[in-house]
Amino acid sequence: MTQPTPGIERTDGLARLEAAIAGQPDAISQAITANFDGIRDAAVLLAGSRRVRLCGVGLSAISAQVAEQILRTIGIDARSANAFDTATYPTSFDPGDLLIVFAHRGTNAYTARVLQRAIHAGLKTVVISDQPDGMRGADVRIDTSRGREDAPAAPFTGALAILAAIAARTEPQSRLATAVASLPEMTRTMLATRETATAVAAEAAQPDRRTLILGSGGNAGAARAGALLVKTLAHLICEGAHLEDALHGGLLAHRPDDLVIQIAPAGAADDRQADFAVVSNSIGFPRWKIGALNDGSRWHTPLPATVEALTPILTAIPLQWFALEVTRAAGIDVDEARPLAPYEEAFSAIGL
């Protein structure tokens, strides 16, 4: 078990988050084992589909984005979208399509609407959720919290690990399938990134400092997920963006002393990641590079060698540590600060 930071009082909320992060390797392994039947059934549907649609809202939409990249590594025509857009704007469903819905925190009005539209159009459907019973009518419902209720996998990593297991069963001879078998152990190695994340968090919590998290491919989703967690917990300005968007104007609103977290696993984007390092070093951003080789960044965290599409599951761990530690460094008591009264009152006036 990872030891608490000395001299800092732990709130119950942060202690629960700490336990959830530290418990992810075992929780991922046990969630996959406990959902063996659902993973098998979903793989059968996946193998027989012409095209795969993926959707969700919020963190679930980000999971759909990362899942698209995972499925494409085994040759699946996968397309992700926010469930709001799929439900609201004209969408052509084909009976040969498979719909995979991510719903981390239970039923959302728009994910439920998409699911019902798909069922009525004759699509096969899979729901990956920690509350799948709320999504009635799906052909396969997989519970990400099964197997270790005392310390469930974090929603993002747990759902993506199950999706990766479905893909691996669909193409058991693929390199992805070999890598999925090592996923719990690779995740375990990432727990050691906490010390670096703590050092970066101390810088991020400085007054008026903003943080920009960047990635490409599936790690553009990991960047957005990390930024969302920081904003939710620490209430600090943190943006998650695509690496290329940062190079095309996205950096211009940031000062040279703002923090940049660059998610850069070895893979197809190596050359562009190197370009960004040149730009970042020239401007002087304090930069934390996660992945590949160090290229002048102030902090560096290597990644295990694996299929690039799986790395968002691994890079999520240091970003989760970062969110935890920047919340502490900012002096936020998550039990006192959540829910924030003005936001709770405003949201209560609409349907989510």
CATH number at residue 106: 3.40.50.10490
Does some domain include residue 2? Answer: no
pTM for the predicted model, two decimal places: 0.92
Name which of 70-79, 105-114, 310-319 the model is least confident about: 105-114
Please check whether residues 91 and 219 belong to one and the same domain. Answer: no
What pLDDT is attached to residue 129?
A: 93
**Is there a single domain that holds both residue 261 and residue 308?**
yes
Where do runs of H (alpha helix) occur along 129-269?
A: 155-170, 175-181, 183-189, 194-204, 218-234, 243-245
123-139 per-position pLDDT tens digit: 999 999 988 888 889 99
Tell me, yes or no, whether 343 lies in a domain. Answer: no
Residue 342: asked if its preceding bond is cis (omega within 30°), the reply is no
Query: Would the pLDDT of 153 be above 90?
Result: no
Q: Note whether 156 and 287 are same-domain residues.
A: no
Query: Looking at the structure, do residues 20 and 108 belong to the same domain, yes or no?
Result: yes
Residue 6 lies in a domain: no
3 falls within a domain: no
Token pair for 343:
């936001």
- Asked if 119 and 230 sit in the same domain, the reply is no
- More confidently predicted of 342 and 255: 255
Domain containing residue 316: 188-335
Is 351 part of any domain? no
Residue 135 maps to a domain: yes
| pLDDT confidence tier of residue 342, bands split at 50, 70 and 90 | confident
Q: Which of 147, 181, 215 is the last residue of a domain?
A: 181
Residues 165 and 196 reside in one and the same domain: no
Whether 170 and 33 map to the same domain: the answer is yes
168: left (phi over 0), alpha (psi -120 to 50) or beta: alpha
Residues 262 and 162 in one domain: no
Q: Is residue 220 part of a domain?
A: yes
pLDDT above 60 for 1:
no
Give the pLDDT confidence score for residue 155 in this predicted structure. 87
Residues 159 and 226 in one domain: no
Q: How confident is the model at residue 10 (pLDDT cuts 50, 70, 90)?
A: very low
* Count of structural domains within the chain: 2
The verdict on residue 285 lying in a domain is yes
- What distance lies between CA 249 and its chain's CA centroid? 25
Task: Locate the DSSP E strands across 43-139.
Answer: 51-56, 78-82, 97-103, 124-129
Burial class (CB in 10 A: 0-12, 13-18, 19+), 303: buried
